[in-house]
Amino acid sequence: MFIATLIAAGRLGDDDLARAVEVAGGGEVKWIDPGDAADLLLGPVDDWRALRDRLEAALPGIDVVVQLAEEREKRLLVADMDSTMIGQECIDELADFAGKKAEIAAVTERAMQGEMDFEEALHARVAELNGLGTACIERCRTERVTHNPGARTLVQTMRARGARTLLVTGGFHDFADPVASELGFEEVRANHLESMYGHLTGRVTGAIVDASAKAQALVERREQLGLANAEVLAVGDGANDAPMIVEAGLGVSFRGKPKLEAQAAARIRHNDLTALLWAQGIPKAEWAAS
């Protein structure tokens, strides 16, 4: 059996649900949280992606997640960091301290759109930071980095219900480790910025966490836990998240770039990250306090 979850926090009405039933050609409506999220219970669906697209088109401003009812609640969360769990691209903000934000942000955008090889883009951007004092990293983190709404609630709720959590990013441990601690992630995969004598060298050390490494991290953690693919939720925003998103049982584009949206099972465009709790059928009364 398939479920179409309709999500529009504070804005979902009976008319929306009636329209969804009409577009789907039938189904039983069940509220998760009145006014916020509801399930449309369906029978077999020949083309669930086409149904999702029709519902999104008919219900502007409402996020739609269509999935199998079985194993709907996930046991592993794998998430990107920049522009997903947090609202910034850390390297762009750090570049501002070097007076190079505009040019580095342009490279970041090309990489996230899938127009430039991620590893090439990473090395090019980091090279521009050569000579920047390492004290700027902590200043940047504390002054510029903010959690995206719903991030902590998502992570804490899933952990409270027994799920495991992994933050995997093409960014840097200097930012990812504190963010993971603040949000509640158990494990981090990220890149390492090299420094000498209190200054960045413009180089990255160790293996690069790129698109394939993100997907591999998901597979490794899933296999370590003995989970089925259907029990994994992955969320990201950039083209470099696509292999990871495709590998997950429920792969979600969160306000993502077009190349990611084209491959993601679900697209969250209008709500915050708590939409991923409603997508799992978890009502607000069972969310962890943020």
Beta-strand relationship, 187-196 and 232-236: unpaired
Q: Each residue of 13-29: pLDDT tens digit?
A: 999 999 999 999 999 99
Average pLDDT over residues 176-203: 95
Q: What is the pLDDT of residue 87?
A: 96
Q: Inform me whether the pLDDT recorded for 119 exceeds 80.
A: yes
Q: Each residue of 3-13: pLDDT tens digit?
A: 999 999 999 99
DSSP 154-194: HHHHHHHTT-EEEEEEEEEHHHHHHHHHHHT-SEEEEEEEE
Average pLDDT over residues 123-150: 93
Measured CA to CA, the distance from residue 146 to residue 88 in angstroms comes to: 7
Q: Inform me whether the pLDDT recorded for 128 exceeds 70.
A: yes
- Return the number of other C-beta atoms located less than 10 Å from residue 106's C-beta: 12
Q: Domains along the chain?
A: 1-70 (3.30.70.260), 72-290 (3.40.50.1000)
Q: DSSP label at 39?
A: E
Q: What is the pLDDT of residue 12?
A: 98
Looking at every residue in the chain, the average pLDDT score rounds to 94
pTM, two decimals, is 0.94
Measured CA to CA, the distance from residue 140 to residue 92 in angstroms comes to: 10
- Label residue 262 by pLDDT band (50, 70, 90): very high
Would you please indicate which residues are annotated as catalytic (active-site) residues? 80, 82
